Amino acid sequence: MRILLLTHHYEPELGAPQQRWGAFVRRFRERGHHVTVVTPPPHQPDAILQGDSSRPGPGQVHLGRYGEVVHRVRFSTQGHALGTRIADQVVSAADTTRLSIARLSRHRPDVVVATAPAIPTLGAGAVVARALRAPLVTEMRDAWPDLLAVADEWDEAAAPPSRTRRIVRSRLIRAASLGVSAIQRTSAAVVTTTDTFAEALRDRGLREVHVIRNGAHPIPRYPRHLPRVPDGELHVLYLGTVGRAQGLGSAVLAAREAHFAGVPVRLRIVGAGAEYDAVAEMAAKGDVPIEMVGQVPRSEVAEHYAWADTLLVHLRPWPALTVTVPSKLYEAMSIGLHITGAVEGETAGIIRDTMAGVTVTPGDPHALADTWAKLANDPSALVVGDEPARWTQFHADDDSLATRYLAVLERIAGGHD
């Protein structure tokens, strides 16, 4: 089978989508399938990848780590401002459409997979699949178009827009929402990463919806978490994207409240994203033990997990986020690390059902500070049993997930012949 993957992020970039598709492409190739990837050159985060002359540039073709053929397309340098990210995605999607049609018409794929959260990539997928006469599978790793309902909260630090800009923005949001819904309805299949979002799409009339979760990818040199010997401090680790959806300013407020209440909590935030600078600025105010590390290579993740007593999984209280599950949850569950979840919906349900940790209402710094105080006073509550790891072995194993994904792609490709 010839699989064409359109994605805005791919290896060797760091991040959850890159890990997800690296794991799948490796297994697709091991099972004899031809995989072509159309994606921009590595350009996120800028500090790690931008300007590296060894990286392939736009227009270049090369073999990936697993023997996949990778075509690199144009991009626009990203900043933290929302507008620059959208511009980057639009530029890449336009060139993805052009390049895919120009180069792949003679050897057209059996199936096209377009993966979000970059909405323009979905549009590119729809055009490319139609032009190449191949079925389209849209992968929704985030809850689009539902997240567009809170678009006004994405860039809270920006100055209030003028009336004209508000009207234009409202019309663009509506157009994007209608466009995403139309692409979902006309796709041969839609893949989601959670049960709850899949059910929401089925309730809207979509029939061909499949759940292929994110995988619990192995952590180099750290197969199992070994709890620290209690020393009077509670070490709280956040490791992942420091973006708009995470709302980590609330965690900083919770750490500050706990500190001033005499609770020995130490917060470490490891990652990068659109809100990193704003969170770092908040963390720097006052004599509170909050450590901002930035993004680290995968090879250094183990030392941060070993430092931690509990992993913070934190999302904003947006309705669309109740049907998403951060991939770091599965990673922590697989090694038996205690989880503090400031989450609702499916994520909170998984934590409670597997006894992987504790949950609090997102967006409530006081409740989070109170939870950390209880954990600091009772280190025995940080001990996690085997149930979380067993759950990930059944629901988030990369081999099983790849097998299920291939079954969907093969059936869709076969039905199109």
Name residue 114's beta-bridge partners.
6, 138
Q: Which residues contact 249 (CB under 8 A, 6 or more apart)?
A: 275, 278, 279, 282
Q: How far is it, in rounded angstroms, from Cα 71 to Cα 67?
A: 13
How confident is the model at residue 414, as a pLDDT?
Answer: 85
Q: How many CA atoms lie within 13 A of 1 on its CB side?
A: 27
Q: How far is it, in rounded angstroms, from Cα 238 to Cα 362?
A: 15
Q: How far is it, in rounded angstroms, from Cα 114 to Cα 180?
A: 12
How confident is the model at residue 51, as a pLDDT?
Answer: 46
Structural domains counted in the chain: 2
Across the beta sheet with 265-270, the strand order is 290-292, 265-270, 234-239, 310-314, 339-342, 357-360
Residues 380 and 404 in one domain: no
DSSP 33: -
Does residue 258 fall inside a structural domain?
Answer: yes
Does residue 228 fall inside a structural domain?
Answer: no
Residues 155 and 179 in one domain: yes
Residues 121 and 164 in one domain: yes
Does residue 165 fall inside a structural domain?
Answer: yes
Residues 379 and 401 in one domain: no
Residues 317 and 410 in one domain: no
* Amino acid at residue number 382: L
Residues 318 and 207 in one domain: no
How confident is the model at residue 48, as a pLDDT?
Answer: 45
Q: How far is it, in rounded angstroms, from Cα 334 to Cα 283?
A: 30
How confident is the model at residue 50, as a pLDDT?
Answer: 44
How confident is the model at residue 377, as a pLDDT?
Answer: 94
- Note down pLDDT in tens along the chain; length 417 residues: 999 999 999 999 888 889 999 999 999 999 999 999 999 998 865 544 444 456 788 999 999 999 999 999 999 876 666 778 888 899 999 999 999 999 998 889 999 999 998 899 999 999 999 999 999 999 999 888 888 877 666 555 555 556 666 666 677 778 888 889 999 999 999 999 999 999 999 999 999 999 999 999 999 999 999 999 989 899 999 999 998 899 999 999 999 999 999 999 999 999 988 899 999 999 998 778 999 998 899 899 999 999 999 999 999 999 999 999 999 999 999 999 999 999 999 999 999 999 999 999 999 999 999 999 999 999 999 999 999 999 999 999 999 999 999 999 999 998 765
Residues 373 and 402 in one domain: no
Q: Which of 135, 130, 170, 134 is nearest to 149 (CA)?
A: 170
Assign residue 337 the CATH number of its domain: 3.40.50.2000
Does residue 226 fall inside a structural domain?
Answer: no
Residues 74 and 129 in one domain: yes
Residue with tokens 């992942």: 240
Residue 321 three-state SS: helix
Does residue 224 fall inside a structural domain?
Answer: no
Q: Distance of CA 248 to CAs 84, 120, 303, Å? A: 22, 27, 22
Q: Token pair of 354, please?
A: 């597997």
At CB < 8 A and 24+ separation, what contacts does 294-303 make?
A: 294/47, 294/270, 295/14, 295/45, 295/47, 295/48, 295/270, 295/271, 296/270, 297/14, 298/14, 298/219, 298/220, 299/220, 301/219, 301/220, 301/222, 301/239, 302/219, 302/220, 302/221, 302/222
Domain that holds residue 42: 2-215+397-416
Does residue 221 fall inside a structural domain?
Answer: no
Q: Which of 15, 89, 117, 176 is nearest to 321 (CA)?
A: 117
Residues 63 and 9 in one domain: yes
Q: How far is it, in rounded angstroms, from Cα 332 to Cα 260?
A: 29
How confident is the model at residue 54, as a pLDDT?
Answer: 65
Q: How far is it, in rounded angstroms, from Cα 144 to Cα 282?
A: 30
Residue with tokens 């993004």: 295
Does residue 171 fall inside a structural domain?
Answer: yes
* Helix H or strand E encompassing 34: strand 34-39
Residues 124 and 271 in one domain: no
Q: Which of 254, 284, 293, 279 is nearest to 375 (CA)?
A: 254
CB 155 within 8 A of CB 86: no
